[in-house]
Structure formats: structure tokens, C-alpha cells
Structure 1
Amino acid sequence: MRIKPALSLLALLLAGGSPCLAQQETGPAAHNAVFFELLGNGGVYSFNYERMLTESLGLRVGVAAWNSPILWDGGGRPDRYATVPVTLSYLLGRGERKLELGGGVTFGQGTLDRSSDQRRDFSFRSVTAIVGYRSQPKGRGYLFRVGATPFYSFDDGEEAYPDPGLTFSAGVSFGYRL
């Protein structure tokens, strides 16, 4: 008669037990990011919004505006620039650390204002690329980017941004994934 209670206990344990799996919760995936970029695709600096279209493909739009005599002309009347970088990036790698490869166009407006009778407004478009390192958690949290951000301008003379032809540059970004 001892077999019947033992079988009952075994049946109860098998029916009522549930498997336990240890998993780390990463939270929901963050599809949006905002970040500040120093140098890089937007010029001297830019404020940016990025939307992840897939887990590894992101579309970014930024905005920047600055006066240039402090940086380049050493005084005198300021040249003014406003830029809008638009890029598409592909992220390679697993986990937090990724290789970022991308490209796009930096649209802009400039004003050359060397003297009161030599003011000239112009618009420009420069092709730009991204080859860099990105660190970000899977869910919400910080965003760090650093990399090469070369430009190619098809314009000539002073209206080319940043310069005629190929210009090598680099940038660093700090932000937050939402």
C-alpha cells in the first residue's frame, strides 16, 4: 500500500511543477535615439534624432548652425553655416559594441560675409560617410559613437562645404536611446 501514496506524490510533482529558465531581461528594444555630435557629419556640431528601421539599420537627421570666424577666419565679419545631415547606417556586431557603416548627404546653407559689399548666400550638398564604433545597450540607455566621417563636395571655391573634393574628418557623439 505504500506504492499508491508514492505514485500520487510523483504525479502531483510532475503535474504541478514548472520548469525554471534563467534569462536576463533586457527590456523593450529602443527604436529612437537623440544625440549630440561634435564634429562629424553635421559640421562643427549637430543635434540629431535617429530612428532604427530594423535592429541593425538606422536613419538619422540632424541640425546645426554656427558662425565661423572664431574657428577659421581669425576675426572679421562672420561666415555663417546651417547644416542638416541625413544618413543611413548599418550596425554590425552583437551586444553593446558595434561597427557602424553608413553614408548620406549633408544639406546646408551658407553666408559668406567678408565685408558689407561682399555678402553672398549659397546652398550646398556634400556626400558624407560613416565608419566608426558604436556602444549602446539593447534597450534604453546611453549612446556613444566615434568614427571617421569624410565629406565629398562637388562644388568649387568658397561655396564648397567643407572644402572642394574629399575632406577627411572625424566625430564623436553622446546621447540617449529612447
Structure 2
Amino acid sequence: MIYLSKSALLILLLASLSFVGIAQDRKIDIYEPGQRAQSFFVELGGPGFISANYDFRFQHTRNGWGGKAGLGYFSIDNEDYLTLPVQVNYLLGKNGHYFEMGAGASYIRNSYDRYDYQYDEQGWYTEYYRGRDVDNQVLGSLTFGYRKQPVDGGFNFRAGLSPILYEGDFIPYLPYISFGYSF
């Protein structure tokens, strides 16, 4: 794991968002006017781990600023995970091919069985079921990737990396891939 200070993470986030401002000043990207782009997709990996998401643009454009919200759930070895990823993102590009970058947070609720152990006189231990415990946390997330979102709607594809920030740790290599429908 790579450990970064909070100030280094803030600098990384500001540097990535300043790229958007530079791109706008140099006219690299043009807004694609038309019906506001919206999409629904299922994402594997990324800030929701396994989630269903709704994505939309804030203005009546196919690219530019937008947001996404999702809901995820999965269970492994009697541990249940509920995820609620939310991000603000920016699509840079045109004609259905975009570079996507974003920042947001994911609420994660982890529910699991808790056991306590006691030793008897011979040194053998016995386990006692104590019930379900719940942990709640919020992870910060970034997104950098490619998005294929047809201008007239249809099949939507996304792939990239979504670095995760939590409790002072930084995981830069969490990949994601998604498939869905744009309208």
C-alpha cells in the first residue's frame, strides 16, 4: 500500500481538477449540445465494488460536468457489504468517446458475525457466537478512465482506474469496468 498525507491527497485532487480548467481554456473540448446525456450501468470494481449506477450531465450536453449515484451489495463468507457510491465527474471528448475523471465518496456498511473465544482448564478454546456487528465507513474515490457513450443512445461501456482513499491509506490501482445503456 502507498501512504500519502492528507495534504498530498488534496494536491493530487486539485491537480486533476485543474486539468479540466486548462482543457477549457485551450478549447480542447467542445460541449456537444443536445439532449442531456443519461445512462444506467452496472459497474464491477471502482468505488461501489459491485454496483448499479445512474449517471447524468448537469446541463443539456453530451459531455462536460455531471454526476453519478449508485447502490451496491455483495456477500462473502457470511459478511455483507452495502455500498452507496456518489461522484461528480467530467467527460472530456466528443462523438461518443470520452475521457472520464471524477471525485466522490462511497458509504460502506459491513455486517458480519462476531465470535468470542474462551479457554477451558485443558487449554482448549470454545467459541461463542455473540451476534452481528456492523462497521460503517466512508471512502474517498477518484475516477480516471475511458467512456464509450453513443451520442444517440445505446450500449454504454466504461473502463479505467478508481483510486480509493480511506483512513490515511491510498490504493491507486483499483480497476473498474461497466456495461450499461445510455439514453
TM-score (norm 2): 0.68
Correspondence for 2:158: 145
Contact between 1:142 and 1:174, CA under 8 Å: does it hold in 2? yes
Query: Is 1:172 equivalent to 2:180 in the alignment?
Result: no
Distance in 2, Cα, partners of 1:98 & 1:121: 39
Which residue of the partner structure matches residue 76 of structure 2?
A: 68
* Equivalent AA in structure 2 for residue 105 of structure 1: A
Of 36, 39, 43 in structure 1, the residue corresponding to residue 45 of structure 2 is: 39
Q: TM-score scaled by structure 1? A: 0.70
> Cα RMSD over matched residues?
2.0
SS state at 1:46 partner: strand
What amino acid does structure 2 have at the position aligned with 1:36? V
C-alpha contact 1:30 1:177 (8 A) present in aligned 2: no
Q: Are 2:66 and 1:58 aligned? A: yes
> Could you tell me how far 1:37 is from its partner in structure 2?
0.5
**1:47-80 deviations in Å (ceiling 9; x for gaps):** 01112113311210000111122xxxxxxxx111
Distance 1:29 1:171 in 2: 27
SS at match of 1:175: strand
CA distance in 2, matches of 1:106, 1:87: 8
Tell whether 2:53 aligns with 1:48. Answer: yes
Q: Distance in 1 between matches of 2:148 and 2:37?
A: 15
Kindly provide the CA deviation profile for residues 75-127 of structure 1, in whole angstroms up to 9, marking residues without a partner as x.
Answer: xxx11110000011101112121110101000121113243226321211000
- C-alpha contact (below 8 Å) 2:36/2:56 kept by paired residues: no
Equivalent pair of 1:105/1:126 in contact (CA under 8 Å): yes
Q: How many residues align?
A: 135
**Which runs of 5 or more residues in structure 1 are unaligned?**
1-25, 70-77, 155-163
Report whether the alignment pairs 1:81 with 2:81. yes
More strand by share: 2
Identity %: 28
Match of 1:101?
A: 101
| 1:29 matched to 2:42 | no
Structure 1 residue ranges, 4+ long, deviating more than 4 angstroms after superposition: none
Separation in structure 1 between the aligned mates of residue 146 and residue 38 of structure 2, nearest angstrom = 18
**CA–CA separation in structure 2 for the residues paired with 1:29 and 1:140:** 10
